[in-house]
Amino acid sequence: MNLPDLAERLLEAKTEKGLSFAELGKRIGRDEIWVAAILFRQASASGDEARELASALGVDPATTAELCACPLKGLGQVVPTDPLIYRFYEIMQAYGMPLKAVIHEKFGDGIMSAIDFTIKVEKRADPKGDRGKVILPGKFFP
């Protein structure tokens, strides 16, 4: 996957500083997933958030304007090749229509927002191997 130059610079600075997305999130009062989305240029930051992130990462303060700009979102028109991202694609290929049917049974015709939406990732210990739990609460729009 080709990342925008800004994303590469931000992620490199994060690695050099030894900071986690959660630690950066605490500095700006945001969730770790939101911070990751900002650094990967899938979301834009407010001015205050951008200034704090630039400071925490030790990047040029001029980066602030770029962090506030509306990014070009998405992975492009290709099937993802990263194994973890592909599994989510595969899940939607196999369970997308069943999931849609169950949501429609419970809520009626409509969509689940990806704007008024949060993501949380939890790690759970299991005797058969650690489990990842991804929680995706989004507002329903009829």
Catalytic residue among 16, 87, 105, 124: 87
Tokens 């610079």 appear where?
9
Does the active-site annotation cover 30?
no
CA angle, 98 as apex, 94 and 104 as ends, to 5°?
150
Closest CA to 59 of 25, 21, 16: 16
Does the active-site annotation cover 122?
no
- Beta-carbon contacts of residue 12 (< 8 Å; ≥ 6 apart): none
Does the active-site annotation cover 41?
no
Helix pair 47-57, 5-17: axis angle to 10 deg: 50
Question: Phi/psi class of residue 84: alpha, beta or left (left: φ > 0; alpha: ψ in -120 to 50)?
Answer: alpha
Chain centroid to Cα 137, Å, comes to 14
Catalytic residue among 113, 122, 124, 131: 113
Catalytic residue among 12, 20, 46, 90: 90
Active centre residues (catalytic): 87, 90, 113
